Amino acid sequence: MTALVLSSAVAVVGTGTMGQGIAQVALVAGHPVRLYDAVPGRAAAAAEAIGARLDRLVEKGRLTPGDRAAAGARLTPAGDLAELADCGLVVEAVLERLDVKQQLFKELEDIVTEDCLLATNTSSLSVTAVAGALREPGRFVGLHFFNPAPLLPLVEVVSGFATEEAAATRAYETARAWGKTPVRCADTPGFIVNRVARPFYAEALRLYEERVADPATIDAVLRECGGFKMGPFELTDLIGQDVNEAVTRSVWESFFQDPKFTPALAQRRLVESRRLGRKSGRGWYAYGDDAPRAEPHTAEPADAPRSVTLHGDLFPADALVGLIRKAGIEVRQGKGVPSHPGHIELPGGARLALADGSGADTEAEATIHFDLALDYGTATRIALSPSSRVDEQGLREAVGLFQALGKKVSVIGHAPGMIVARTVWMLVDFALDAVGRGVADAEDVDTAMRLGVSYPLGPVEWGRRLTAYRVAECLELLHEEYPTGRYAPSQALRRQAVREEYS
């Protein structure tokens, strides 16, 4: 099954921001486009707005005047649904209410031809449920664009329970012909991106609720150590706290209140207080010309130790050894247990160990856990979590060591798994669980997370680098700390860990 031919008209029903964006994508790709909105006058206003955006593309040299004129001639506001009768594809971008969408498609089914592809851009409703009102649900798919649709490349092509393979393939090939990067997925709450991304927000909120660190520090560590483009607090302020919380709640309820998807009370209170983020002028942060900038906690300068002793292997943090030597600090070789995570012994006796999911205060030794980094060489910040047995000298030595490597240091409270590490472990677990349940294949999951939410690395690939065995082991330790089921490794992660152990 090939993509929709360019001579075939594409209709977009609903002319808000997303509807206009989808219409622009189809228009620039070369299709005739019909715009329809139930509110009189909105389709015509949307056509004018799209024309203005095309004019800006001409000004920027991204569209020729001739192509602009041809596109404008192909764009038509429709005053009645009946005017969509000859369209080859109808994409809906109306109110996120199941009854509204079902009624719309029931009406469209009586208007369009039998070979017309019907698609919903829903981000939170079940594609299967929307199609449930149709006589012929086989031609119904989800085409989930990301906002702004003309700029963001990802499109999730969602197959409902009754979607025929030919329809899904045609939708996929059409999105690709439009210059997008489509990924296939089954109809599941949140699809790929909104399902797999939940821990990125949830773990930050949990750490905040436990008073481990403030929002600015958590954001800074995830950006400057984890390599994420934005931290979860600033990102949810940009998205809108009400929007993000509603998606979280919807996914949680759709999974029958599975503890892995539990919403955060802190975010609910923010929404109740109408601190919705940038759009309201206040969310986790204050906005406006005179608003003070929230700064992360950064430790004061400290002297670096002249030497440290390495015991065993640091595995994902092995690059630190070379960095320490490059900084002119002697690395002495101590004893270590093969295949067991090692540690760095500081001159005062404190141990530096990579976050492993255990609580620092459960260990007999004076232990300072340091966080996982995407790349220890390029990371500009590191988080440290000292146990109560660590004295001031030991903490200063740890801070000075990482400062000598060119890192800013954020000392945070008692936090099993810390910030980056437990966020990444959970993302890996959620990604493998989605693959294991047939939501999407591993390549599409990683593509969706890199393009849809700009993750620095796909979570499946991150899991390969860390190894499923160690991710599962660390989550088991977290599960012991929080025995609610939230951190229990998924069966898919457990199976992958077993395969790695015996391969």
pLDDT for the residue numbered 398 = 98
Handedness of CA 431, 436, 442, 447 (dihedral sign): negative
pLDDT at site 360: 53
Contacting residues for 502 by C-beta, under 8 A, at least 6 apart? none
* Mean pLDDT estimate for the chain: 95
How confident is the model over 186-214, as pLDDT tens digits? 999 999 999 999 999 999 999 999 999 99
How far apart, in whole angstroms, are the C-alpha atoms of residue 245 and residue 404? 40
pLDDT recorded at residue 335: 80
Cα–Cα distances in Å, from 188 out to 87, 163, 345, 379? 28, 13, 47, 35
Give the number of C-alpha atoms closer than 13 A to the C-alpha of residue 503, restricted to the C-beta side.
Answer: 9
Q: Are 209 and 223 in contact (CB under 8 A)?
A: no
Residue 225: the pLDDT is 98
Question: For the chain, what percent of residues have pLDDT higher than 90?
Answer: 94
| Of the candidates 470, 469, 486, the residue with the CA atom closest to the CA atom of residue 478 | 486
502 SS3 class:
coil
- Between CA 243 and CA 198 the distance in angstroms is 13
- In angstroms, rounded to a whole number, what is the distance separating the alpha carbons of residues 349 and 334? 13
What is the rounded distance in angstroms from the CA atom of residue 406 to the CA atom of residue 381? Answer: 8
Q: How confident is the model at residue 472 (pLDDT cuts 50, 70, 90)?
A: very high
Give the alpha-carbon dihedral of 160, 259, 466, 387, to 10 degrees. Answer: 160
pLDDT value of residue 22 = 98
Res. 363: pLDDT tops 90: no
Q: What is the pLDDT of residue 220?
A: 98
Two tokens at 391?
Answer: 């004295």
pLDDT at 1: 64
- Checking if the pLDDT of 361 tops 90, the result is no
Q: Please compute the mean of the pLDDT values over residues 256-281 and round it to a whole number.
A: 96
Instruction: Scan for tokens 């209410």, then name that residue.
Output: 97
Q: Three-class SS of residue 215?
A: helix
Residue 355's nearest CA partner among 450, 470, 255, 262 is 470
pLDDT confidence bin for 339, thresholds 50/70/90: low
Structural tokens at position 179 = 């210059």
CA dihedral (237, 243, 247, 249) positive or negative: positive
CB 309 within 8 A of CB 344: yes
Run of H or E residues at 338:
none
* pLDDT surpassing 70 at residue 185: yes
CA angle 446, 125, 189 (to 5 degrees): 40
CB 22 within 8 A of CB 57: no
The length of the chain in residues reads 503
Confidence band, pLDDT 50/70/90 cuts, at residue 358? confident
Torsions phi, psi of 30, nearest 5? 120, 5
Closest CA to 395 of 302, 313, 486: 302
pLDDT, position 399? 98
Nearest to 385 by CA among 425, 351, 348, 428: 351
Taking residues 304-323, what's their average pLDDT? 95
Strand-pair partners of 59: none
Helix (H) or strand (E) holding 262: none
Does residue 382 contact residue 410 with C-beta atoms inside 8 Å?
yes
Torsion of CA 201, 203, 208, 214, to 10 degrees: -70
pLDDT score, position 380? 98
**Residue 356, token pair as written in the block:** 């492993």
pLDDT, mean of residues 490-501: 94
Q: Name the pTM for this structure.
A: 0.95
Cα–Cα–Cα angle for 61, 66, 68, rounded to 5 degrees? 65
Provide the pairing of β-strand 381-386 with 75-78: unpaired
Which strands, in side-by-side order, build the sheet including 367-370? 330-333, 307-311, 343-345, 351-354, 367-370, 381-386, 408-411
Q: What's the rounded Cα separation, in Å, for the pair 40 and 469?
A: 59
Mean pLDDT in residue range 294-308: 97
Active site residue ranges: 123, 144, 156, 194
* Tens-place pLDDT, residues 416-462: 999 999 999 999 999 999 999 999 999 999 999 999 999 999 999 99
- The closest alpha carbon to 38, from 111, 116, 92, 88, belongs to 92
Q: What DSSP string runs through 217-233?
A: HHHHHHHHTT--SS-HH
Distance CA 336, CA 318 (A): 14
Write out pLDDT tens, residues 93-117.
Answer: 999 999 999 999 999 999 999 999 9
pLDDT score, position 365: 81
What's the pLDDT band for 500 if we cut at 50, 70, 90?
confident
| Beta pairing, strands 89-92 & 117-120 | parallel
The Cα 84–Cα 108 span in angstroms is 8
pLDDT category at 364 given cuts 50, 70, 90 is low
Residue 248 confidence class, pLDDT cut points 50, 70, 90: very high
